A and B are shown apart, each in its own frame.
Chain A
Amino acid sequence: MNEPLVLGIETSCDETGIGIVRGRTLLSNMIASSMDEHARYGGVVPEVAARAHLEALQPSIDAALAEAGVSLHDLDAVAVTSGPGLAGALMVGVGAAKGLAVSLGKPLYAVNHLVGHIAADILTPESEPLEYPTVALLVSGGHTSLLHVRDLTTDVELLGETMDDAAGEAFDKVARLLSLPYPGGPEIDRAAADGDPDAIRFPRGLSKASDLAKHRYDFSFSGLKTAVARWVERCEADGIPVPVADVAASFREAVVDVLVTKALAACTDLGVPRLLLGGGVIANRRLREVALSRAAAAGVTVRIPPLSLCTDNGAMIAALAAELISSGRRPSTLAFGADSTLPVTEIQVAERLAEAS
């Protein structure tokens, strides 16, 4: 099957994503977010997210079908995120995907969310096809991962990931320290606009020579968050107003610096002159700017899918499944569950065994 029509269901965090693709062609990308419901809590509340998924699923499927102009019976397969992500949120999608696949008698593909972020890139027909190998940096409120992608459907390796907070979480927490609303990313960006990124030298996590030996490609943002908290407290203790713009700009610079430095180090070490960016934090303009300019200086080509495909979405899940189908992979069994810590090496979950002939 060369151009399979696939509907993808993504519920790993606070976005209910339903996407429909035909092969590498995007037909629909419906995203319902429960972000507003989490705002008052200052971060994603798993139970709130799971409740919102159940509410949003059916309307989102209806809307995606209408936008794509296809009917459920036209589908060649259903795809769903099995992990990683929030367990209770993932399970809503898994239940829905199984109900739909059994109802329609269509094959079901259970796939890896992180690899889905990479697959988002193949849905951009106006650009050259993704070349392998590539290094991929995925940054969102839920994950911060550096991957070595030798083949989208068979060979993805985890180079490093965050040891504590995801980068997006760090933005949310620092926003709170600065009395800025949730979500923190855009707020920090706005506050940083008039700030001096070099005003305060905040620490770069896991960047000292002693850390690099063991954690060359790993990230840590909790020390940075604590450093910002200390700075803010010192201002308060000294009775001087917190220079919010400078703190925001300097914090953002520290995050961006670590992300880009480690990603480009991986490119150099592996001899891979290609870097793919993904995840919701890629919306951060400063991150894109620094990545593009420093990559250019290092001779590394950067690819950034459109933002609507960078944030969590169902189209990337459908796209990954379409690639699996095109490469001859069998569907998943119906026996998989949600795996909140699914390793990135498991691109497809529970592939059915070949039938004995």
Chain B
Amino acid sequence: MILAVDTSLGTAVALIDADGALRSEANTTDPLGHAEVIGDLLVQALDAAGPGEVTHVVAGMGPGPFTGLRIGIAAARTFALGRGVPVIAVPSHHAAALTALGTGSGPFAIVTDARRREVAITVFDGTDADGIPHVSADTVLVPAVEADAHLDGIRRIDVAALSAADLARVGARAHAAGRVLAGEEPLYLRHPDVVLPGAPKRVGL
């Protein structure tokens, strides 16, 4: 079985068989509270999946609000550590793209909220030879009001919840093909928001 965990939007956990068949899913669409629910959702999904060994853990690497995103990645990594199995890192938009592939043809854009009046956009076009959604334009952050102009007619799919089962399927296909879809670092897309200190403020005599 392959376990997938994603906290880039809500909190999503799923287990699939090696052939991609769904074993179980547990999720909430709440964009907050990932730390509170992640443990119980893992237990629910594992209980519902029935007997079988987890062979891989797929971690959704974002993009997504940083604080929540890290919780799922941390949990995926330590879960894998506890079971002595590898982690497969997958960009979260790939899961949404796999879900969306059945809904039409031609290029389409996965659009998720990136906070601060920006959205994260990845453009996909079909699947590649390994059955993985094909990225035709890498993930970028765009001001929300400029998103339509940026997409210039490409079909737009706004996503507020991810299928962890599809995340697991993308991870399984990438692993089978020996491909690496994401690095160790989450897809933050922004630098930490800090300014270098200037001279100390004067307090006045």
> What is A's interface to B at a CB cutoff of 8 Å?
40-42, 45, 47-48, 50-51, 53-55, 57-58, 61-62, 72, 87-88, 91-104, 108, 176-177, 226, 229-230, 233-234, 237, 334-338
Contact = CB atoms under 8 A, between A and B. Distances in A.
B43 A102 contact: yes
B67 A91 contact: yes
B202 A50 contact: no
Contact of A88 (B66, B75, B81, B197): B66
B145 interface: no
B56 interface: no
Nearest to B202: A233
Given A230-B203, A234-B205, A334-B43, A72 B81 contact: yes
A337 B77 contact: no
Given A41-B197, A177-B200, A103 B66 contact: no
Measured as residues with beta carbon below 8 angstroms from the partner, the interface class of chain B is 35 or more
Interface stretch (B33-41, B116-124, B171-179): B33-41
A234 B43 CA distance: 63
A50 B81 contact: no
A95 B200 CA distance: 38
A103 B78 contact: yes
Given A54-B70, A99-B74, 17 more contacts: A41-B196, A47-B192, A61-B78, A88-B70, A95-B34, A97-B78, A99-B77, A100-B78, A100-B82, A102-B42, A102-B82, A177-B200, A230-B203, A237-B205, A334-B40, A336-B36, A338-B35
B71 interface: yes
B76 interface: yes
B138 interface: no
Contacts of A55: 184-185
A86 B74 CA distance: 17
Given A101-B39, A102-B42, A45 B192 contact: yes
A95 B72 contact: yes
What is the predominant secondary structure among interface residues of chain B facing chain A?
helix
B192 A334 contact: no
Interface string B185-205: 110100011101100101111
Interface string B58-82: 0000000011001111111111111
Contact of A229 (B7, B40, B200): B200
Contacts of B205: 230, 233-234, 237
B79 A100 contact: yes
List 4 A-B pairs, minimum CB-CB distance, nearest first. Answer: A103-B82, A334-B39, A99-B75, A98-B39
B192 A104 contact: no
Contact of A45 (B82, B83, B185, B194): B194
